[in-house]
Amino acid sequence: MAARPTIFVLNGPNLNLLGTREPEIYGTQTLDDIGAMLSERADALGLLIDMRQSNHEGHLVDWLHEAQASGAKAVLLNAGAYTHTSIALLDAIKSIRTPVIEVHLSDPKTRESFRHHSYVGLAAVACFAGHGANSYVLALDAAAALPL
Q: Which residues belong to the active site?
A: 26, 104
Of residues 17 and 36, the one with the C-beta less far from ligand CA2: 17
Q: According to CB under 6 A, which residues from 18 to 37 bind ligand CA2?
A: 18, 20-22, 26
Rule CB under 6 A: say whether 115 interacts with ligand CA2: yes
Residues 130/103, Cβ–Cβ less than 8 Å = no
Provide, for the chain, the percentages of residues in helix, strand and coil under a 3-state DSSP scheme, each rounded to the nearest 5: 45, 20, 35
Q: Which stretch binds ligand CA2 (CB under 6 A): 33-41, 76-84, 87-95, 119-127?
A: 76-84
Rule CB under 6 A: say whether 14 interacts with ligand CA2: yes
CA distance 63 to 113: 29
Give the nearest distance from C-beta 93 to ligand CA2 in angstroms.
15
Which residue among 6, 29, 53, 78 contacts ligand CA2 (CB under 6 A)? Answer: 78
CA distances (Å), 94 to each of 74, 76, 128, 137, 147, in order?
A: 13, 15, 19, 24, 19
In terms of C-beta density within 10 A (0-12 exposed, 13-18 middle, 19 or more buried), how is residue 42 classed?
A: buried
Dihedral sign computed on CA atoms, order 95, 77, 61, 109 = positive
Give the nearest distance from C-beta 11 to ligand CA2 in angstroms.
9
Binding residues vs ligand CA2 (CB under 6 A):
14-15, 17-18, 20-22, 26, 78, 80-81, 83, 104-106, 108, 115
